[in-house]
Chains A and B, each alone.
Chain A
Amino acid sequence: MSETAQAAKRQGADKAPPLVVRFAGDSGDGIQLAGYEFAKSTAEARSDFMTFPDFPAEIRAPTGTLFGVSAFQIQFGADEVLTPGDRADVLIAFNPAALATNLPNLKPGGVLIVDDSHFDARGLKKAKLETNPLEDGSLEGFQLIAVDVVKRTLEALDPLDLGRKRATRAKNFWVLGLVYWMFGRPLEATQDWLKSKFKKAPEVAEANITALKAGNAYGETLEISATPNLTAPRVARRRDNSRIMSGGQAMALGLAAVAALGKRDIVYCSYPITPASTLLHALARLEGGVRIFQAEDEIAAATAAIGASFAGSLGVTASSGPGLSLKTEAIGLAIAVELPLLVIDVQRGGPSTGMPTKPEQSDLTMAIHGRHGEAPCPVLAPATPDDCFAIMIEAARIAIETMSPVIVLSDAYLANAASDWEIPDIDTIPDLLWPEISPEEGDFQPFTRDVLTLARPWAAPGTQGLAHRIGGLEKAQGSGHISYDPANHAEMTRTRAAKISRLADRLPAIELEDGAQDGDILVIGWGSTHGSIAQAVKELNGEGARVSHVHLRHLWPLPRGLEALIRCFPHAVTAELNTGQLSSILRGEYLAPVTCISQVNGQPFHVSDLKAEIRKHLEAPSS
């Protein structure tokens, strides 16, 4: 396409709707890397964006198989982008299996770039395709660009003499070069990154850069008729002081902030598990503030974190569903001895091993109720990748203020999804205050209580004059001595519960995210579904509906005012990636007829699906 044609196409780009691009290929094809580089280039282009890495649990599944397909989706646009998008405007399929599994994710009429080098009998068989989709007419409804990417990459890299196997590895950058051409993106930033990433292997950097340029040049040579009909949004809405950030990275930075704001090292204990391990990796790279312990198992991780809190630090432990099950007894201990503890659950599809890399919100009931005995503790959930930073600081404050474990429910989507993150101004965030304690006359009473918070004093070993003993046996209110007294147990049980429920008095008042209190329906969300629900509600209201959205960051204790808010609406419905856990809890707590929009397919909500479901609920007879 000529310069003039390009320029003409960009006219009105400021008003262009957001675009969705999806890369799909073998898990060894470098899909996530190409996708992430595209996200960085999107940030450089000052568009807002949200990404969704959608990959299998297998590290390098056999090539060409349906189950080995890894995908990366990004939505970017001129306006605020809240989700990675439903279906793609552009799909790049690296092989037949990627095409077969991802074609349903492409919009009708969308641009389809296919590497046709593997569409032989063997490749089609691995993808369980009876006929060749490139020839059988099944792709007629799309703007197909079929290129032998492997051949073109090998041609471009021929002068470098790397051998076929190594040269072929650069094909993801060849494709990235082509996609950059489609959106008029410069190549420099990616080239610079490749040079610094492969400083010790300059030949690898050169190979990838050569491929990137070759793919880009190939775009220039495409016939006009083959040029995709796309208008890339191009708006300088991006915040200046920002960087690309996934929820998992933001959470790691949030924990680093907890240490900095408290001027005290915290202790992070965990056992490797997908998808929580990214947090361990990110923290391990820090140069201070967080003392890392890769424990022998989930239970050791939780109990070591409790030991760290006992000794005056803040113990943090993270895991995913099965790991949270294993930590349950330890969380009960922290509740019984009333020590702060931060528990992060990066939820994934369950039960059991389930779908380790796929998001689900199915641990809510376990987080709130899943312990033996009467054992309440605060439960929080970040709403966006950005929020993963702030919620760590808030959870740490609550844990210390209430002397209680706090469970934070993230999920596989939040952990991996990246967006443009405005770097917070640290100077505006107050210090994290650790309770001060001074030696007192006579015997120390470890189970006396603050009149407001009901929290007990925290005297860490090493504090002079306050040596005392705590344990999982029931303790006498005040002295903390072992007590089997019936009245004392009743009092302690109710005190522990009141300590948590009183927290609700100190939480921010509940506010509608969108819509009005006299709307026709209240959609209640929590956690990672924020973007999808917000977008769906915005669009519905734009179409004339009267939909309101409330999003819960604090799931236990439930926020004050929520019940009254629910009763303002003829319809109240939760939207959850489970079979209705929050709606059950709300029904139980409030005796209110809260229904549920449920999805359990291991994927985030599509905005279009949510809109259809909300409309259905609007049409139902009011309660």
Chain B
Amino acid sequence: MNELPLKPNDFGTDQEVRWCPGCGDYAILKAMKTVLADIGRSPDEIVFIAGIGCAARFPYYLSTYGFHTIHGRAAAVATGVKLANPDLDVWVVGGDGDFMSIGGNHTLHALRRNVDLNLLLFNNAIYGLTKGQYSPTSPIGTRSPSTPGGSTDQPVNPVRFALGAGAKFVARAADTLQTHLPVVLKRAHENKGASFVEILQNCLVYNDGAFGAINDRSQSHEATVRLEHGSPMIYGKDEDKGLVFDNATGAFEMTLLADLASKDALAIHDETNLVRALALAALEQPDFPVPLGVIYAADAPEFIEARGIAGTKSKWGRTELKALLSPPA
């Protein structure tokens, strides 16, 4: 066993990584190792639970405890892990099929129950492992083996879904943004409760460039707005653009800083404001910069704690059983 503190590479395994060369998952794995080293907990107290899909191979490549389960059910498995042992640090990894399609129900309920899990949705807007069918996050018009004429069904916006489900921590990041992603992951880990992070992830083989400029490091600042609690919403490589909030429409609007009389008119990010969070979630490319960072974070009772379950110790034994079995008076 390695002595703490561990370095990022100490979290690797001897397993050959089986993702396609250039897959965004490599970048997420790298960021994850950095975060785990930074958090400083023993790999023996960390668990990665995954469903099925490219993203779901994640646990095999980390030296923590890991469980590659069945399609869509990772959040439910993870809930069981926490019920048995709430002291563990539990991460759930899945793709857009896992989290938003076959396992959508479990995502909804893990979030609304506020189970202390870090739920990482690797969104590549395509089914990779089954060879490229459109997914529930693919935009209308996506041509794929199952939609040769282009898809017609409306995609789900995972951040809106999470907020709608009552999630108390919702964030978004992108695979290639290696200074930003670890910060978001660390914040997710610090939150006691269900932490939902959508990570925009490029699938080089079936959906290359699906997120356009967002995860292209040279252009990302034009296509995204980095949220900082308490700071004005400014974006652009030259920090020349911003968002203002129109109280009349309840929506954000883009503006050039030069057009503003004062910077005071810029919207200030307030993580605790659910109405603003929903308005932020509505901002999508290409019309708007996509918000990255912690979109919403609010305190709420955690599922396991709220039930008074603590640790793995049982207060139940033969004495209690005998009392239970004896006939009622």
Which residues of A are at the interface with B, using a C-beta cutoff of 8 A?
242-243, 253, 256-257, 259-261, 263-265, 267, 269, 286-291, 293, 295-297, 299-301, 303-313, 315, 329-330, 333, 337, 423-424, 426-427, 439, 443, 460-473, 481-482
Contact = CB atoms under 8 A, between A and B. Distances in A.
Contacts of B76: 295-296, 299-301, 303-304, 307
Nearest first, the 8 A-B pairs at minimum CB distance are: A307-B80, A471-B68, A289-B316, A304-B80, A313-B84, A469-B66, A311-B84, A260-B321
A297 B70 CA distance: 15
B226 to A, nearest CB: 34
Given A313-B84, A426-B318, A462 B66 contact: no
A304 B52 CA distance: 16
Contacts of B79: 293, 295, 300, 304, 307
Given A263-B317, A300-B73, A423-B326, A308 B81 contact: yes
Contacts of B273: none
A149 to B, nearest CB: 30
B69 A469 contact: no
Interface in B72-105: 73, 76-85, 87-88, 105
B325 to A, nearest CB: 5
A253 B87 CA distance: 28
Candidate in A259, A300, A303 with the most chain B CB atoms within 10 angstroms:
A303
A267 B82 CA distance: 10
B316 A310 contact: no
Contact of B85 (A261, A311, A471): A311
A426 B317 CA distance: 11
A303 B65 contact: no
B320 A260 contact: yes
A469 B67 contact: yes
Nearest to B326: A423
B113 to A, nearest CB: 9
28 contacts: A243-B328, A261-B321, A264-B314, A265-B84, A288-B316, A295-B79, A296-B76, A300-B105, A301-B76, A303-B77, A304-B80, A305-B80, A307-B78, A307-B81, A308-B81, A308-B83, A310-B67, A311-B82, A313-B83, A329-B70, A330-B73, A333-B69, A427-B318, A462-B87, A468-B66, A469-B66, A469-B67, A471-B68
Interface in B309-329: 309, 312, 314-318, 320-322, 324-328
Contacts of A439: 1
Given A296-B106, A303-B80, A461-B65, 13 more contacts: A259-B316, A260-B318, A263-B314, A303-B69, A308-B80, A308-B84, A330-B73, A466-B44, A467-B43, A467-B44, A467-B46, A467-B64, A471-B68
Candidate in B43, B68, B108 with the most chain A CB atoms within 10 angstroms:
B68
Contacts of B49: 307
A32 B296 CA distance: 51
B80 A462 contact: no
A306 B84 CA distance: 10
B162 to A, nearest CB: 16
A307 B68 CA distance: 11
Nearest to B313: A265
Nearest to B324: A256
B25 to A, nearest CB: 16
A288 B320 contact: yes
A295 B110 CA distance: 10
A260 B317 contact: yes
- Chain B at the A interface: mostly helix, strand, loop or mixed? mixed
Contacts of B154: none
B59 A424 contact: no
A243 B329 CA distance: 11
B60 A471 contact: yes
B47 interface: yes
A423 to B, nearest CB: 5
Nearest to A259: B316
A470 B67 CA distance: 5
Contacts of A299: 73, 76
A345 to B, nearest CB: 19
A313 B314 CA distance: 11
Contacts of B327: 242-243, 423
B47 A461 contact: yes
Nearest to A265: B314
A469 B60 contact: yes
Contact of A296 (B43, B52, B109): B109
Interface of B: 1, 13-15, 42-47, 49, 52, 59-60, 63-70, 73, 76-85, 87-88, 105-106, 108-109, 307, 309, 312, 314-318, 320-322, 324-328
Contacts of A290: 316
A615 B320 CA distance: 50
B317 A462 contact: no
Contacts of B44: 461-467
Contacts of A464: 1, 42, 44
Nearest to B319: A260
Given A289-B320, A313-B85, A461-B81, A330 B42 contact: no
Given A466-B44, A467-B65, A481-B15, A426 B321 contact: yes
A290 B315 CA distance: 10
A467 B84 CA distance: 17
B273 to A, nearest CB: 28
Contacts of B63: 467
A482 B67 contact: no
Contact of B312 (A265, A286, A468): A265
Nearest to A336: B70
Contacts of B60: 469, 471, 482
A309 B105 CA distance: 22
A289 B314 contact: yes
Contacts of B77: 303-304, 306-307, 310
A304 B69 contact: no
Contacts of A306: 69, 77, 80
Contacts of A257: 321
Contacts of A267: 80, 83-84
Contacts of A310: 67, 77, 80-81, 84
A300 B109 contact: yes
A6 B15 CA distance: 84
A464 B46 CA distance: 11
A311 B88 contact: yes
Contacts of B15: 469, 481-482
A333 B68 CA distance: 10
Nearest to B61: A469
A261 B106 CA distance: 33
A423 B81 contact: no
A297 B81 CA distance: 17
Nearest to B112: A296
B103 to A, nearest CB: 9
A297 B105 contact: yes
B271 to A, nearest CB: 27
Given A300-B76, A308-B83, A471 B67 contact: yes
Given A304-B77, A310-B77, A310-B80, A469 B324 contact: no
A426 B325 contact: yes
Nearest to B62: A469
Contacts of A333: 69-70
Candidate in B68, B77, B87, B315 with the most chain A CB atoms within 10 angstroms:
B77
Contacts of A264: 312, 314
Contacts of B47: 311, 461
Contact of A286 (B1, B43, B324): B324
A315 B108 CA distance: 22
Contacts of B316: 256, 259-260, 263, 265, 288-290
A487 B105 CA distance: 38
A13 B327 CA distance: 28
Contacts of B87: 462
Contacts of A261: 318, 321
Nearest to B77: A307
Contacts of A253: 324-325
Candidate in B79, B106, B316, B324 with the most chain A CB atoms within 10 angstroms:
B316
